[in-house]
Structure 1
Amino acid sequence: MTITTQAAVVESGGAPFTLVDVELDEPRADEVLVRMTAAGLCHTDLGVASGGLPFPLPGVLGHEGAGIVERVGPAVTSVVPGDHVLLSFTSCGSCRNCRGGHPAYCATWLPDNLIGGARRDGSATISRSGEPIGGHFFGQSSFARHAVADERSVVKVDSRSPLETLAPLGCGVQTGVGAVWNVLRPGPGSTVVVAGAGAVGLSAVMAAALTPAQRIVAVDVKPHRLDLARKLGATHVVDASLEDYAERIAELTGGAGCDGVIETTGNVTVLRQAVDSLAARGTAVVVGAPPFGTEVGLEVNGLLGGKHVVGITLGDSETQTFIPVLAEMVGDGRLPVPELVTTYDFADIQQAVEDVRSGVTIKPVLTFD
């Protein structure tokens, strides 16, 4: 038995999102059928849709889903029909990193989430006119009115919470917040730099504002984003289109450099500047993801002062414990995520894509009737 629903399908790399009817497979023992009420649009979705990552197309993307559980498989224990849930990445639950509380580094993370397009056994969760298409994106494929999600992708939240506000916690917000809280962990008097004031970067700014960091520096080329960064807690901003990023950091720190920098742009020139701007024993957290195979040149002797360069996925968070905390903090106003969100009707997904590409919108969230 299959479930017919409407989804936004990308037919091929560079093609637009188009709304068509698709069929969902019945939820298996460890899967959950969710009626979507909201889904965030992320740069990773755009990267896959452009053909920049080897996800099988035609397919259904979306990995910041939020909705209401309609049906659960017989082995599911964490949620029941009627629960309000957020959807995030999936993981195997049994490898060393999953057992150690680091499921974002699951042994099967890449095929299960980003490039596989199907369940681990190769079976499809989504088909069209009887033919399988790419699905199971981050264990969910939430650009659809219904999604069959892995139980490990599903996180229960308070039914009173506005899901259109919480949807971005599934990826962008937890990535930025986790980069600060789980990796940098700024101490008193430290200087934290956030390169790129998009949804991930601004989430990092919010998180840094809740730490003892003395200086929080946001770097971008769009004045309206820098204005918002100040509102969210940045103590200083750098318009990289007008002033030299590295020189400004040196000036702010008396030549010492910053203690931590979060690079969200995926631009290798900015990444090199980030590493060069570090103080001795400082840490650069690499969040932005350029196309596979991209390399960056670093001055080796510059690293010998104890500098750290750390890549991170999804904030190195354990979703079942981390996301509910973030949801509660959004609810009480300590994480002002609503400042980032612009909502769009699901039918207007292509307009949302164009607005985020142009920089008009920071975090588009699609809403479903």
Structure 2
Amino acid sequence: MSIPTRAAVVESGGAPFTLSDVELDEPGPHEAVVRMVATGLCHTDLGVASGALPFPLPGVLGHEGAGVVEAVGAAVTGVAPGDHVVLSFTSCGGCRDCRGGHPAYCATWLPLNLIGGRRADGTGTISRTGEDLGGHFFGQSSFAERALADERSLVKVDPEVPLASIAPLGCGVQTGVGAVWNVLKPVTGSTVVVLGAGAVGLSAVMAAALTPATDIVAVDRVAERLSLARELGATHTIDATAADLAAALADITGGRGADGVVETTGNVGVLRRGVDALAARGTLVVVGAPPFGTEVALDVNGLLGGKRVVGLTLGDAETQTFIPALVRLVKEGRLPLHRLISTYPFTDIDRAVRDMGAGKAIKPVLTF
């Protein structure tokens, strides 16, 4: 028995989001139907919609969902109808990295989340007039009034916290926070540099402000974002249009360089400058994703001072413990996520996309 709903469908690469009546498959044993309340819009959604990644289109994207569980499959134990949930990525649960607490590095992460468009067994989750659409995006495809979600994508959260205020935790925020807390782990007196002050970068700034890091440096080309970064905890800002990164950081750090760098822009020129600006034994975390196949040249001898370059997916977070902790920090006002969010009715998804592309909105959240 299929479940009718309305979704924002991308018909082909580069096409706009168009609202369409679709049907969800009935939930399998480890799935749930979630009535969406809010869902964040992320650059990954826009990249797939543009046709830059091999996701099957027409399809339904959306991977920062938040909503209320309506129905659960026979084997679901973690949530029940009526529970408030944040939706995040899915994973197999059985490979070495899943068992080791690193589900973002699941052996089947790419097909399950980003490029498969179907369940692990090859069956579809969303159809239209009997034809399968690309779905199961990050185990959720939440650009729809209802989502058929994997149990492993669902994180039960405090029902007192408004869902529109925490939807971005599922991807962008946990990515930026995890880069700082799970990889850089700043110690007293250290310098954290964040390249790019979008939603992920500003999440990293907020996370760094909750650590013993002494200098927190935000780098961007947009003055308004740099001033917001200061309000969210940056101690220094660098306008990339006016200053040389290496010289500015040398000035801030007394010539030593940065202990930790979070690269969120996906620009390989920026990545290279970030690596060059590291102190001895410093670490750069690569978060921003350029098109598949992109390469970067590095000065090998420059790395021999103990520099580390670490790639990161979704903050290397174990969602069932990480996301509820972030929800509590939002609730208590210690992670002021509302400063990044602009809300739009779901029917205005194209306006949200335009505002995000123009830099008018840092983190659009669609509300249902």
TM-score range, shorter chain: over 0.9
2:281 alignment partner in structure 1: 281
1:195 alignment partner in structure 2: 195
2:227 alignment partner in structure 1: 227
1:30 alignment partner in structure 2: 30
1:295 alignment partner in structure 2: 295
Alpha-carbon separation, structure 2, partners of 1:130 and 1:247: 60
1:333 alignment partner in structure 2: 333
Give the structure-1-normalised TM-score.
0.99
Aligned: 1:207 with 2:236: no
Q: Which amino acid aligns with 1:206?
A: M
Q: Which amino acid aligns with 1:351?
A: R
Aligned: 1:320 with 2:320: yes
Alpha-carbon separation, structure 2, partners of 1:232 and 1:143: 29
Gaps of 5+ in 1: none
Query: How many Å apart are 1:287 and its aligned residue?
Result: 0.1
Query: How many Å apart are 1:255 and its aligned residue?
Result: 1.2
Alpha-carbon separation, structure 2, partners of 1:49 and 1:299: 35
1:171 alignment partner in structure 2: 171
Q: Which amino acid aligns with 1:2?
A: S
2:183 alignment partner in structure 1: 183
Alpha-carbon separation, structure 2, partners of 1:273 and 1:188: 25
- 3-state SS of paired residue (2:166): helix
- Count of paired positions: 368
Q: Which amino acid aligns with 1:328?
A: R
Aligned: 1:241 with 2:254: no
Query: How many Å apart are 1:131 and its aligned residue?
Result: 0.2
2:125 alignment partner in structure 1: 125
Alpha-carbon separation, structure 1, partners of 2:150 and 2:86: 12
Q: Which amino acid aligns with 2:236?
A: H
2:257 alignment partner in structure 1: 257
Q: Which amino acid aligns with 2:96?
A: R
**1:252-309, Cα deviation, whole Å (9 max, x unpaired):** 1111110000000000000000100000000000000000000000011000000000
**1:308-353, Cα deviation, whole Å (9 max, x unpaired):** 0000000000000000000000000000000000000000000000
Q: How does 1:22-171 map to 2 (within 5 A)?
A: 22-171=22-171
Q: Which amino acid aligns with 1:110?
A: L
Alpha-carbon separation, structure 2, partners of 1:108 and 1:307: 30
> Structure 1 segments of 4 or more deviating over 3 A?
none
Query: How many Å apart are 1:365 and its aligned residue?
Result: 0.1
Q: Which amino acid aligns with 2:81?
A: P
Query: How many Å apart are 1:251 and its aligned residue?
Result: 1.2
Alpha-carbon separation, structure 2, partners of 1:243 and 1:316: 32
Alpha-carbon separation, structure 2, partners of 1:49 and 1:101: 31
**1:93-122, Cα deviation, whole Å (9 max, x unpaired):** 010000000000000000000000000011
Say what the alpha-carbon RMSD is for the aligned residues.
0.4
Gaps of 5+ in 2: none
Query: How many Å apart are 1:160 and its aligned residue?
Result: 1.1
Alpha-carbon separation, structure 2, partners of 1:248 and 1:266: 21
Give the structure-2-normalised TM-score.
1.00
1:343 alignment partner in structure 2: 343
- 3-state SS of paired residue (1:75): coil
